[in-house]
A = this chain, B = another copy of it.
Amino acid sequence: MAHEQHQELIQALHDCAAECNHCFDACLQEDNVKMLADCIRLDRECADICAFLEHAITRNSPFVAELAAVCAKICEACGNECDKHADMHEHCKRCAEACHRCAEACRNIA
C-alpha cells in the first residue's frame, strides 16, 4: 500500500508539521515577535500543507506526487526563513532542520 512505500516521507511530514506548529506557538510568545512575523506566517503554511499531504498519503490519494512537489517548495521557504533566526531561537533551528529534511523527502517522491 502507498502508505507503506511512503513511510519515510510520512515520518518527515509528521515531524515537520509538529516542529512548524511548535515554532508558530513559540514565536508568538517571543518578545521580538515583530521580527518573526514571516516565520509565524510560513510556519502555518508549512504545518498545514505537511498535515494535508500526510493525510493524503494514508488515504492512498492518486495525487501524492503533485502535492509533494508543492510541499517541497513550501518546506524550503519555511526552512530558509527559520534559518535566519536559528542563532537566536532554538525552536527556529529545530524547525529549519525539520523543514529541510522534509523538503528533501518530498522531492524524492515528486
Contacts and interface: CB of A to CB of B under 8 A. Distances in A.
Interface string A56-100: 101111110011011001100100000000000000000000000
A8 interface: no
Residue among A18, A58, A59 having the largest count of chain B Cβ atoms under 10 Å: A59
What does DSSP make chain A's interface, helix, strand, loop or mixed? helix
B28 A1 contact: no
B37 A62 contact: no
Interface of A: 1, 3, 14, 17-18, 21-22, 24-25, 28-29, 31, 33-34, 37, 40-42, 44-45, 47-49, 51-52, 54-56, 58-63, 66-67, 69-70, 73-74, 77
